[in-house]
Chains A and B, each alone.
Chain A
Amino acid sequence: MKIIVCLKQVPKNDSILRINEQGTWIQDRDLTYEINESDQYALEAALQLKEKHGGEVIALSLGPARVQTVIKEALARGADRGIHLEDATLDNLDAFGISTAIAAAAKAEGFDLLLTGLQSDDYGYAQTGVIAAELLGLPHATIVMDVQATDGGIRVKRELENGFFQWVSMPAPAVLTIQSGINTLRYATLKGIMAAKKKEIKKLDAAGLGLDTASLTPKMQFRRVYVPVKSKQTQFLEGSPAEVAAKLIEKLKNEARVF
């Protein structure tokens, strides 16, 4: 099975976030980065499929030079090679633009499965995989929790709401967006880290991908990013202890929504 896993580099989840001067996004000056959480589970799912059925795992990331660390980390965990999409014109794209670039690279490479995480921890659009599938004209499944190989295709378990699941059989090649927490992530071993040094990372730019960058101009933009204003309210509940308790429960449930 030839599997391409898309890995996004996002700010570490314990980063101290400060809004930039223009008020349009966060300052990237003091940030440290990591692999987007659900993408890590996608990588692990790919590595497990390879261990079971053989084949190849390719780690793909789009972004500036710093995203190489994401690819290297994937190689250290066991991916076979990397693809780095790097081009100044590909910075600051929206989900459609990113998906277009990924789809172009994936198509050129060829694959049985293209995996992405369910959504990114920074923007949280949950669109990259789905749009890429549409652009490639391939079937896709979202919020995937398990992937099994079948004759000529795959069977996947999808998460629905309220603890319900759905099993879907689909042909390959296909695009899947993977849910967090579905497997146990492996650590990069010392040997894996050293072995990764010798693995190939192919670089591709917009021209190499045959992209018309003018058509990728974001169709969406951030007007203003701001920190939610905290407010505090005090209410006094009156009545007998039983009445007060009932009112409190009601308020916690419907106003504060704590359960």
Chain B
Amino acid sequence: MSLSFNLTDEQWQIKKSVREFAEAEIKPHVQEWDEAQHFPRELFAKMGALGLTGVLFPEEYGGAGMGYVEYALIIEELSRIDGAIGLSVAAHNSLCTNHLYQYGTAAQRERFVTPLAKGEKLGAWALTEPGSGSDASGMKTQAIPRDGGWVINGAKNFITHGISADTAVVLAITNREMRSRGISAFIVEHGAKGFLAGKKENKLGVRASETASLIFEDCWVPKENLLGEPGRGFVNAMQILDGGRISIAALALGIAQGAYESALKYAQERKQFGQPIFDFQGIQFKLADMATQIDAARLLIWRAAWMKDNKQQTTRESAMAKLYASEIAVKVCEEAIQIHGGYGYTKDYPPEKHWRDSKICTIGEGTSEVQRLVIARQLLTS
């Protein structure tokens, strides 16, 4: 392995272009979308034109043909401005579309990946249920063969784009005795009979990212909509999460970076006792710790992304990046509020939103506790 921490010219350009986009197209609306819990569906067409809705997929399927390093840079830059958009782009790319791309047949890729990658359609990925979160294989949703297809019954919970998605990847039990080896993935399209969107969650943070439940009442899908081998759905989902977790780590990183930048600027502008508060060592130490934690998180993320791009197993590295980045993000955002004093507690400055947004990162795609379980399990295998 050659060791380099330099981004290529192209990677810098990607970072710059996404930053310009986020600052011009997202930043002016952040507060309004957050307060109204408005999910900006229209933004996906604009992001599609840039290539942000199909980052990881080859050009023949309408994607940008990039790797996880570029993907992490993109999610970081979007989340630096708005974590809600970062989360939505992550769920669309590395969960839904990636599951379709990785395990879909050529015909499924052509039909489903292409419009998702181009940003014409919106994707959702449904694993979690009201009764099964961390213990995902304890799901109840079931699919039974009938009339040359499958009939799905059950409910999913906390699904990103649960209401607005055009295409959902849904995990369901096809053989109860086989437990986690008896779960399969299905493609369910918006408007399918018996496929209903449930309640939209009213959330603490990432409020502009739509989160809702899904209900399946005798929902029939044709057999072509079985995704991947029957019984492999759960194993495949866990592999999808290995990549997805890199994006949640990048989401946390971007949120932390945004809060940190705000704090660094504010500390130089705000004067108390006749001097900028940055000149107090107490404030400098906070900023030094924040900068160090952010850098450490970024390096863990780049390592996991690099390994993924080099086709290595990243279960441990993705979990470490996700665990560390999300935990420091919450801390960094909290310190950013502290540095802003009372102003940080208001909606006039960005850190309060960054802080609220950051908390999803220690929960979604596996809680911090689950990441530690995953890491600990890996400690004994290598």
Contact = CB atoms under 8 A, between A and B. Distances in A.
B65 A76 contact: no
Interface stretch (A1-9, A55-63, A93-101, A183-191): A183-191
Interface in B12-60: 12-14, 16-17, 20-21, 49-52, 55, 59
A197 B12 CA distance: 13
A20 interface: no
Interface in A38-62: none
Interface in A182-230: 187-191, 193-194, 196-197
A187 B20 contact: yes
A243 B58 CA distance: 73
Contact of B17 (A69, A187, A197): A187
B126 interface: no
A188 B15 CA distance: 10
Contact of A187 (B12, B21, B65, B66): B21
A72 B13 contact: yes
A73 B13 contact: yes
Contacts of B51: 189-191
Contacts of B66: 190, 194
B177 interface: no
A9 to B, nearest CB: 13
B10 interface: yes
Contact of A188 (B13, B52, B55, B70): B13
B9 A190 contact: no
Contacts of B59: 191
Contacts of B16: 73, 188
Secondary structure dominating the interface of A? helix
A191 B66 CA distance: 9
A193 B14 contact: yes
A134 B154 CA distance: 77
A193 B10 contact: yes
Interface in B168-195: none
B64 interface: yes
Contact of A193 (B17, B21, B49, B52): B17
Contacts of B14: 190, 193
A194 B16 CA distance: 14
B74 to A, nearest CB: 8
A59 to B, nearest CB: 14
B13 A187 contact: no
A193 B14 CA distance: 7
A190 B64 contact: yes
A194 B65 CA distance: 9
A188 B9 contact: no
Question: Size band of the B side of the interface?
Answer: 10 to 19
B50 A189 contact: yes
Question: Size band of the A side of the interface?
Answer: 10 to 19
Interface string A153-191: 000000000000000000000000000000000011111
B50 A194 contact: no
Contacts of A190: 14, 17, 50-52, 55, 64, 66, 70
Nearest to B10: A193
Contacts of A196: 10, 13
Contacts of A194: 10, 64-66
Interface in A69-103: 69, 72-73, 76
A193 to B, nearest CB: 5
Interface centre among B13, B20, B21, B65, by most chain A C-beta atoms within 10 angstroms, is B13
B270 to A, nearest CB: 17
Interface centre among A69, A73, A187, A190, by most chain B C-beta atoms within 10 angstroms, is A190
A190 B21 CA distance: 12
Contacts of B17: 76, 187-190, 193
Interface in B144-161: none
Contacts of A197: 10
B247 to A, nearest CB: 16
B66 to A, nearest CB: 6
Contacts of B12: 69
Contacts of B13: 69, 72-73, 76, 188, 193, 196
A189 B65 CA distance: 12
Nearest to B25: A187
A31 to B, nearest CB: 16
Nearest to B63: A190
B322 to A, nearest CB: 24
25 contacts: A69-B9, A69-B13, A72-B13, A73-B16, A76-B13, A187-B21, A187-B50, A188-B13, A188-B16, A189-B49, A189-B50, A189-B51, A190-B17, A190-B50, A190-B51, A190-B52, A190-B55, A190-B64, A191-B59, A191-B64, A193-B17, A194-B65, A194-B66, A196-B10, A197-B10
Closest A-B pairs by Cβ, 5 of them: A190-B51, A190-B64, A188-B17, A193-B13, A189-B50
Interface of A: 69, 72-73, 76, 187-191, 193-194, 196-197
Given A69-B13, A189-B50, 17 more contacts: A73-B13, A73-B16, A76-B13, A187-B17, A187-B21, A189-B49, A189-B51, A190-B14, A190-B51, A190-B55, A190-B66, A190-B70, A191-B64, A193-B10, A193-B13, A194-B66, A197-B10
